């Protein structure tokens, strides 16, 4: 995740630049709706029943308020009543109008209800509490509409987005923190694609950075290996290269801190020299770096593929350097006055820019707060390189990478950057919107890149640049001890301890996945001794992936996850397997009932479900339908807020409501044909929406488990 551990201390931060405050959500959703209309998408899109009826009701209410009270409300709050028996929508608008109209809220609500009259799709309206207006859907009609439509609106069609995620330094094995990044990013990609967007998935590879240099130092200085010897070292490894590097990286980091002061200074010098050789390229040191980083990168891709995570393109820093992306960015920035040459103060001799979030330097004297982009020795900083890379992402740089095929997925090829690539290749970059899944500690540099785009006049692009930030995954002190690390006394009371690649302190991604599979395997063996080994393995893997992905997605982005094996290996309650189990139950129903979900949904056309869906008993069935009808609403919200956790919660609530329904109503033994048809259709709708939503979360539901 582009975290370069450095020897001078951590660089952590949490500005949450991309976290949109709730008040922005509404307008964002409106913007999507406008897009929807502009794109000419069919308004009668059946699957959006909840959202569609909501919009219709709000439009009608606006008309009533205008005609009857001559008022125009900026925003019309709409929510769901605390209990389903009160209806599907609740409107507190009378409270807001009470002062303006100098009338009691209840009185206003009554007048509004009277003025509303009949509204298509609604069974009625009533005043509740101190002045709420509750709206009831015509459940029979709504259920018919929900069962008939399975398509999700492609509101995002025509938008080309780019998501950058994973971006692990290719010098050691991936750990749990990287898993959070990749799972968040991959899930968000699925959400964008579900909304119809065209999405490129990029995994940025810092193959010329300090971390790779440290591995090279380890090999050349500690192990005393030449390029050829590194080759045979790799061939002769008894463990995987990323695991071997995990230990070597920790050992090398340690080595810098050992010895006399003079020795340490010498070692730092070696490190810097190694870094410069790698950056320059065309020498034995850089060849070793290339060899190792490429091998580790392949391992990362394999690890992520275990979780169903794939990439389209791997841009590398080596090409950003060697193809001189920065030179072009530098010209633009100088020409537009974003960069200026500092002649005084602490940054004398550097090219600097105004730091994001600071005011224009008032009066005279140098802006000591400015961000250095080009050092006084003429070399460019990290942010400078990132600015160039992001100009490329938006198609504003005027230069492209070369492309080579690198990693073959069953359905497509993943390409990697090259100085000179193949003549025939797909086109990457030039996106309209970008999302950078990067941990929250890097929001300052991210903000500076955005500031540079804005300064260059690319305000539209800056608006569509999202730092998709998230908090780190740390370990609980107990987990750290389980792993065999000596936890200092003062850390034992802390809620969590940060992982550290330099110390070799962390839970490796593949170890965790292996552990999960081992746990699910033993369960599956116990529950399904009749199945063949191959089949059992498939099921165990699906459950393990489901458990892991859900675990990483259930927390909102700005919550620090204090990792513990006990939580991550849990399969009960709010977990992936619980959701998968709900789907397995629906599958079992249709298998035993010798019918299909499709048939059950089609049968709804001739079922008069209205009467059955009334009353308390009806509520317990309707609850499932109502939740299922909200999937598209949640998809919109997740995209607008860049928060996949809302959809994870939605899936969980749907599974929970289905489980309750399942216990309460026995479907296959139901005697009444109409009621049985409705119950079957309920299971079908729950299954359809669960499978859809789980698919977006990257979780598959096996036939049995």
Partner RNA sequence: GCGCCCAUAGCUCAGUUGGAUAGAGCGACUGGCUACGAACCAGUAGGUCGGAGGUUCGAAUCCUUCUGGGCGCACCA
Q: Determine, following the binding rule CB under 7 A, whether residue 495 of this chain makes contact with RNA.
A: yes
CB-based burial, 351-373: b 16+ in 10 Å, e otherwise: bbbbebeeeeeeeeeebeebbbb
- How far is 487 from 600, CA to CA, in rounded Å? 57
Residue 528's φ and ψ, nearest 5 degrees, are -130, 65
Give the shortest CB-412-to-RNA separation in angstroms.
29
- Binder of RNA out of 464, 494, 503, 515 (CB under 7 A): 494
Strand positions, DSSP E, 68-172 = 89-91, 122-128, 132-137, 160-164
Asked if 365 is part of the footprint of RNA (rule: CB under 7 A), the reply reads no
Footprint on residues 153-212 left by RNA (CB under 7 A): 206, 209-210
- From candidates 33, 198, 570, 595, binder to RNA by CB under 7 A: 570
Q: Does 9 bind RNA (CB under 7 A)?
A: yes
Site for RNA in 601-640 (CB under 7 A): 637
**Least distance from C-beta 474 to RNA, angstroms?**
8
Nearest alpha-carbon partner for 438 in 400, 406, 463, 465 = 465
Cα separation, 21 vs 15, in Å, equals: 13
Q: Give dist(CA 147, CA 149) in Å, integer.
A: 6
The interface region with RNA, picked from 322-330, 408-416, 454-462, 588-596 by CB under 7 A, is: 588-596
Binding residues with RNA: total (CB under 7 A): 117
The Cα–Cα gap between 437 and 470 comes to: 8
Judged by CB under 7 A, the residue of 581, 622, 625, 696 near RNA is 581
Interaction with RNA in 466-485: which residues (CB under 7 A)? 471
Closest CA to 482 of 565, 547, 551, 561: 565
Of 109, 248, 372, 396, the residue at the interface with RNA (CB under 7 A) is 372
> Which SS3 state, helix, strand or coil, does residue 89 take?
strand
* Interface stretch with RNA, choices 307-315, 453-461, 580-588, 688-696 (CB under 7 A): 580-588
Q: Rule CB under 7 A: which of 438-457 touch RNA? A: 440-445
Give whichever of 96 and 310 is closer to RNA, judged by the CB atom: 96
Our CB check for RNA shows the closer of 60 and 160 to be: 60
Q: Which is nearer to RNA, 200 or 367 (CB)?
A: 367
Span near RNA by CB under 7 A; candidates 39-47, 246-254, 402-410, 575-583:
575-583
Distance in angstroms (rounded) separating the CA atoms of residues 133 and 58: 12
Residue closer to RNA (CB basis): 177 or 577: 577
Least distance in Å: CB of 413 to RNA? 28
Q: At what angle do helices 93-101 and 105-116 cross, to 10 degrees?
A: 110
Helices vs. strands in the chain: H and E counts, helices first: 26, 16
Cβ-contact 613, 661 below 8 angstroms:
no
Residues contacting 551, CB < 8 A, separation 6+: 567, 568, 575, 576
> What part of residues 640-679 is at the interface with RNA (CB under 7 A)?
645-646, 649, 656, 659-660, 662-669
Distance CA 200, CA 310 (A): 11
Torsion of CA 309, 642, 687, 137, to 10 degrees: -170
Exactly one of 567, 598, 617, 672 binds RNA (CB under 7 A); that residue is 567
Q: How far is the CB of 559 from RNA (least distance, A)?
A: 3
CB-CB neighbours of 494 under 10 Å:
14
In Å, the largest CA–CA distance within the chain is: 88
Please report, as residue ranges, which positions from 212 to 271 form the binding site for RNA (by CB under 7 A).
none
- In the region spanning residues 529 to 548, those forming contacts with RNA, defined by CB under 7 A, are 539, 543
**Which residue stretch of 369-377, 398-406, 424-432, 481-489 sits at the interface with RNA (rule: CB under 7 A)?**
369-377
> Which of 216/383 has CB closer to RNA?
383
427: contact with RNA by CB under 7 A: no
Integer Cα distance of 218 and 170 in angstroms = 15
* Residue span binding RNA (CB under 7 A) among the ranges 59-67, 287-295, 417-425, 554-562: 554-562
Tell me, residue by residue from 304 to 343, as one string, x for binding to RNA by CB under 7 A and - for no binding: -------------x--------------------------
When binding is defined by CB under 7 A, the residue of 223, 400, 482, 498 that contacts RNA is 498
Q: Which is nearer to RNA, 92 or 504 (CB)?
A: 92
Residue 365 CB, nearest distance to RNA (Å)?
16
> What are the start-end ranges of the E strands in 419-560?
433-439, 465-470, 473-475, 497-498
For the CA atoms of 218, 224, 230, 233, the dihedral, rounded to the nearest 10 degrees, stands at -90
DSSP conformational letter for 361: P
Question: Can you name the residues that pair with 124 across neighbouring β-strands?
Answer: 136
Distance, C-alpha 119 to centroid of its chain: 39
Q: Which residues pair with 175 in a beta bridge?
A: 508
Sole binder of RNA in the list 524, 568, 638, 651 (CB under 7 A):
524
Minimum distance of RNA from residue 245's CB (angstroms): 17
Phi, psi of 160 (to 5 degrees): -105, 115
Tell me the closest approach of the beta carbon of residue 265 to RNA, in angstroms. Answer: 16
Q: Give the one residue of 68, 240, 375, 464 binding RNA; rule: CB under 7 A.
A: 375
Tell me the closest approach of the beta carbon of residue 687 to RNA, in angstroms.
13
Instruction: Name the segment binding RNA (CB under 7 A); options: 89-97, 159-167, 216-224, 600-608.
Output: 89-97
Which among 33-41, 64-72, 76-84, 300-308 is the span making contact with RNA, rule CB under 7 A? 76-84
Is 35 within 8 Å of 156 (Cβ atoms)?
A: yes
Stretch of residues binding RNA (CB under 7 A), selected from 114-122, 141-149, 346-354, 692-700: 346-354
Nearer of residues 363 and 378 to RNA, judged by Cβ: 378
In sequence order, which residues have a C-beta less than 8 Å from that of residue 9 and are 6 or more positions away? Answer: none
Q: Residue 490: CB partners within 8 Å, gap ≥ 6?
A: none
Compute the least distance from the CB of residue 556 to RNA, in Å: 3
What part of residues 91-130 is at the interface with RNA (CB under 7 A)? 92, 95-96, 98-99, 105, 128-130
Q: Which of 511, 523, 537, 619 binds RNA (CB under 7 A)?
A: 523
Q: Closer CB to RNA, residue 134 or residue 159?
A: 134
Binding region for RNA (CB under 7 A) out of 116-124, 261-269, 331-339, 582-590: 582-590
- Which of 19, 255, 330, 458 touches RNA (CB under 7 A)? 19
Of the candidates 565, 553, 525, 670, which has an alpha carbon nearest to the alpha carbon of residue 607?
670
Tell which one of 359, 573, 594, 606 touches RNA (CB under 7 A): 573
d(CA 653, CA 230): 53
Of 229 and 595, the one with the shorter C-beta distance to RNA is: 595
Length of the chain: 705
Q: Does 518 bind RNA (CB under 7 A)?
A: no
Q: Are 319 and 419 in contact (CB under 8 A)?
A: yes
């Amino acid at each position: 995740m582009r975290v370069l551990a450095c020897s001078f201390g951590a660089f952590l931060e949490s500005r949450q630049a991309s976290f949109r405050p709730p008040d922005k959500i509404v307008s964002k959703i409106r913007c999507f709706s406008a897009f929807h209309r502009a794109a000419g998408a069919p308004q009668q899109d059946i699957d959006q029943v909840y959202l569609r009826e909501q919009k219709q009701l709000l439009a009608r209410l606006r008309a009533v308020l205008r005609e009857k009270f001559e008022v125009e409300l900026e925003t019309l709050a709409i929510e769901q009543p605390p209990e389903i028996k009160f209806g599907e929508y609740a409107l507190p608008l009378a409270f807001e109008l009470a002062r303006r109209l100098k009338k009691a809220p209840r009185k206003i609500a009554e007048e509004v209800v009277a003025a509303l009259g009949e509204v298509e799709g609604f069974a009625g309206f009533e005043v509740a509490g101190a002045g709420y207006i509750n709206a009831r859907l015509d459940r029979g009609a709504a259920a018919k509409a929900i069962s008939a439509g399975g398509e999700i609106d492609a509101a995002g069609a025509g938008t080309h987005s780019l998501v950058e995620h994973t971006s692990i330094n290719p010098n050691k094995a991936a750990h749990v923190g990287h898993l959070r990044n990749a799972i968040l990013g991959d899930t968000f990609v699925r959400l964008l694609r579900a909304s119809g967007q065209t999405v490129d998935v990029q995994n940025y590879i810092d193959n010329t950075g300090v971390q790779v240099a440290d591995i090279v130092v380890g090999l050349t200085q500690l192990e005393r290996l030449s390029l050829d010897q590194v080759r045979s070292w790799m061939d002769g490894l008894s463990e995987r290269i990323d695991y071997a590097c995990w230990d070597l990286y920790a050992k090398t980091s340690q080595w810098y801190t050992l010895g006399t002061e003079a020795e340490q200074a010498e070692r730092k010098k070696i490190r810097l020299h190694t870094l410069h050789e790698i950056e320059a390229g065309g020498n034995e040191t850089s060849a070793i770096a290339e060899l190792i980083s490429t091998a580790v990168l392949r391992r990362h891709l394999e690890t992520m593929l275990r979780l169903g995570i794939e990439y389209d393109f791997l841009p590398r820093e080596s090409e950003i350097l060697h193809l001189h992306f920065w030179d072009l960015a530098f010209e633009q920035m100088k020409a537009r006055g974003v960069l200026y040459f500092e002649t005084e103060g602490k940054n004398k001799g550097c090219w600097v820019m105004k730091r994001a979030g600071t005011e224009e330097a008032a009066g005279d004297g140098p802006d000591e707060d400015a961000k250095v982009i080009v050092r006084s020795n003429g070399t460019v900083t990290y942010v400078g390189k990132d600015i160039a890379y992001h100009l490329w992402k938006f198609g504003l740089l005027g230069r492209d990478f070369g492309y080579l095929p690198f990693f073959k997925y069953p359905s497509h090829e993943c390409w990697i950057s090259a100085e000179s690539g193949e003549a025939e290749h797909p086109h990457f970059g030039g996106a309209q919107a970008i999302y950078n899944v990067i941990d929250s500690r890097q929001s300052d540099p991210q903000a500076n890149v955005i500031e540079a785009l804005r300064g260059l006049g690319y305000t539209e692009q800056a608006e569509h640049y999202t730092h998709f930030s998230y908090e780190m995954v740390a370990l609980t002190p107990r987990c750290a001890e389980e792993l065999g690390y000596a936890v200092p006394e003062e850390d034992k009371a802390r809620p969590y301890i940060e992982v550290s690649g330099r110390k070799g302190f962390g839970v490796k991604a593949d170890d965790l996945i292996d552990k999960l599979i081992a746990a699910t395997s033993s369960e599956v063996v116990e529950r399904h001794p009749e199945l063949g080994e191959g089949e059992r393995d498939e099921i165990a893997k699906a459950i393990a992936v489901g458990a892991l992905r859900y675990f990483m997605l259930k927390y909102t982005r700005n919550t620090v996850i204090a990792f513990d094996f006990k939580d991550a290996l849990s399969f009960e309650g709010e977990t992936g397997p619980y959701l998968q189990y709900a789907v397995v139950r629906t599958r079992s129903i249709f298998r035993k009932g010798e019918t299909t979900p499709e048939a059950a949904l089609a049968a709804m056309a001739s079922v008069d479900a209205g009467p059955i869906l009334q009353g308390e008993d009806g509520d317990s069935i309707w609850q499932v339908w109502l939740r299922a009808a909200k999937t598209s609403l949640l998809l919109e919200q997740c995209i607008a807020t860049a928060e996949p956790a809302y959809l994870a919660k939605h899936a969980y609530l749907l599974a929970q409501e289905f489980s309750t329904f399942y216990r309460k109503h026995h479907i296959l033994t139901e005697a009444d044909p109409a009621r049985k048809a409705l119950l079957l259709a309920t299971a079908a709708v729950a299954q359809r929406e669960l499978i859809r939503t789980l698919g977006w979360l990257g979780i598959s539901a096996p036939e049995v488990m």
